[in-house]
Structure 1
Amino acid sequence: MSLKKSLFCSFNYFYNTMNIRIIFLGLLLIPVLGISQSRTITGRLLDSETKQPVRYAEININDGDSILVTNHLGYFQTEYEYGDKLMASHIGYETSEIPVPESSSFAVLMNKSYTDLGQMTFDEKELAESGITREIHANELDSGKNNVKYKESWQEFYADFIEMVTSAPTFKDSLGAYTLEVYFTVNEKGQVRDILIDDTKSYQAFQQKGLIEESLMNLNSWIPATQNGINTSQSFKVSIISVEKVFTLVEESAKFPGGMDAWYNYLKDELNYPSDARRLGIQGRVYVEFVVQRDGGLTNIKIAKGIGGGCDEEVIRIIKNSPNWIPAYYKGEPVVSKTIFPVTFKLDYGDGRSNSTPKLQDYLRSNVRYPAQARRMGIEGTLYVFFHVNKRGVMSDLKIINDIGANCGAELLTQMKNVPPVMIKNLKQGVNILPVTFGLHDPPEKRKKLMYLKITTYWKSW
């Protein structure tokens, strides 16, 4: 064997041997690398605000049955493999996933969770209306075995809290509308702590804040929540709502600036007698209702009793344009009150004639419309309206005699029902028959084919 061939064989043997060793070593390293992905981690749960440890919280891994519990310092330790999902839960905090960093030791901040107690109000009427909502919240809290308990039921908390606030000498039920978001915690000793009331720009709500805090602190019948058999804190949120209370009985009534004389002068200067009411002879009293706010502004304006003819709308207009009033007072405080005022419309002809009401014919001539169907079909003729007026001036037994059809009778009945009562009162008592003529042509002097309505100036009465 030549030296060259001998050297080649030796090299080939060495290469094959080393290759086998490298492959074998690689096979040995595979499980080692797999094992190296599992590591021990140590975490600590802390309150995001106070940075105090979250004790006895539960750590669930991959939604399985394995549960870890943090110790009294908030620490936990476990074996962690890349991709594992860790969830932290505690009755007083939001359930959240734990982000595991590359470091083997780390801290996790948990946000406090506030159990919603719903809405409360210190007004008796609204209290009754919102009772169902509170009952639902109370039942949910009572059914949770680890929740904070209050006496026999959470319903007693609502009752005791409202009683404590409203019976306090400093409580005022006339402070207007406001909303307060109240947060508080019942700690592991069953004491109310960490009361927070959302800041408000409402001075009225600000006046109640101190009383609410004091009342919560004085409630001492709590049984603390538990977490894994250990007493712990639980936090709550309640919305306290007050609507503007409208007083009808007050010590000092709301009034126009300057008193009643100034009010009548204002009406005299601002009131415009509507042309329709003047033409139809409508007069009488319009009763207007409105609310005077604590700052004297007028709201919720509406007519309690009107007379029509545009008078109602005119009264609403002048009330809307009125300057602010002086509010009503109750127990020395300005309050919201409701009031009703009469506004009188009275015709004055200025020529020595007495006030009178125009004839019924004038009203019908202004309001009855010739039905489109009758115009299209060329129907014309005379109808007779039959009705009875009793001693009180009330019309009854209204009906049409000799109806010419095409909705003429229906239109006439509609307008008769809308006749202002003051016109009926001026008619003679007993049975009345009024002829009304529908015509499609003007009287002969105009000689144009236009529709017209003729109502005779007489009627029969019995």
Structure 2
Amino acid sequence: MRKFVLIILGLMLTMSVFAQEDNKEKGVFQVVDDMPVYPGGDMALRNDVASLVKYPVVAKENGIQGKVYVSFVVNKEGKIEDAKIARGVDPSIDKEALRVINALDKTWKPGKEDGEPVKVSYTVPIKFALGEDKSDEKKTFYGEGENKVYYIVDEMPQFPGGDEALRKYIANAVTYPDVAQKNGIAGKVYISFVVEKDGTVGNARVARGVDPSLDKEALRVVKALPKWKPGVEKGKPVPVEYTVPINFALN
């Protein structure tokens, strides 16, 4: 019997090179001094999303699968608002992903800029996948033997200083390519990579590109990331796949 696999990938927070003044005018920030924090952290958010998701019957029957990106705003009170599909797969799966995000009723620690609570944009990917795997273990990784790479582990990899430090590192490291600026090219580049057993970043690749110039810059920044605290599964460090979106936007 065909079984389905639900994989909640490493949380992906939109990195932006928007001018802060432009963000303030719009009322929603992309990156702030203190980013919003879900009660219990990212792992708790992943677990809560996983517990709420129900694979739509119509999607299973028709073999529909894919990764849905849901964007929303964490407001000044720590509540989710304006949830919407940033990138969908199918109406049935999109609807379920949106329902799950709107069903999260816990209050976040709101984001802050200059010491004041502000609205902050946040993006979460949810992957719906159908497979023939009989083993629950196989639902959390790909590859075999020494080439096994996990999606989710007991302890996810951590960038030195945490997610906020990762966001700031990328924001400071990114240089908007001149050719892209001159030609009005903008968009969000998704970079996937593996945090190896020793914490180094390997196998960085463009998961979803926009333009060669932007893709190249995003890839350069991710390849230069310093060592992470590696992911741990059953007490042992293991390679874990991670995905980061970098948003290039012109004022």
Q: Same fold (TM over 0.5)?
A: no
TM-score (norm 1): 0.25
Say which one has the larger Rg: 1
Q: Which has the higher contact order (CA 8 A, sep 6+)?
A: 2
